[in-house]
Amino acid sequence: MNPRSCVNIHKEWDIVGARQLGREMAKEIGFGTVDQARIATAVSELARNIYLYAENGQVCFEYIYTNSQKGILMIAVDTGPGIKDISSVMQDGYTTSGGLGAGLPGVKRLMDDFDIESTVGEGTKIKAIKWIR
């Protein structure tokens, strides 16, 4: 099994910690500067969502390898209120906090694979993968 590194998100500054870990791991495995910036931004969005809406959660990273390619997997888990209507939060411009509403759809565009599951009252789990081209 690949080792997994995690950052707990409780305070606003934990977002910076998660971002730095994500960027470092992306750099380590060989992503270019543009993809590093993409990954760091995606981490920033996911971690900020945890901080804003769930208050408590974790962002984890691990390397993944297939026969033909390698990449980085990030998993953002929280035990917050959950998302009632996932299709609406994946729309551009949808926001409940007065922000731009580009967070989750933005992450989906920044990353290659994106998967979200959420149960109201239990929490949300988001998995996203970026492959090295």
The binding site for other proteins (CB under 8 A) comprises 12-13, 16, 19, 33-34, 36-38, 40-41, 44-45, 48, 92, 99-103, 105-107, 109-110
Rounded to whole angstroms, the Cα distance separating 8 from 101 reads 24
Question: What is the nearest approach in angstroms of other proteins to the Cβ of residue 129?
Answer: 15
Instruction: Report phi then psi at 122, rounded to 5.
Output: -115, -40
Nearer to other proteins, 16 or 86 (CB): 16
Nearer to other proteins, 2 or 95 (CB): 95
Question: What is the nearest approach in angstroms of other proteins to the Cβ of residue 55?
Answer: 15
Nearer to other proteins, 103 or 123 (CB): 103
Q: Are 125 and 76 in contact (CB under 8 A)?
A: yes
Rounded to whole angstroms, the Cα distance separating 122 from 78 reads 8
In degrees, to the nearest 5, what angle opens at C-alpha 57 toward C-alphas 56 and 60? 160
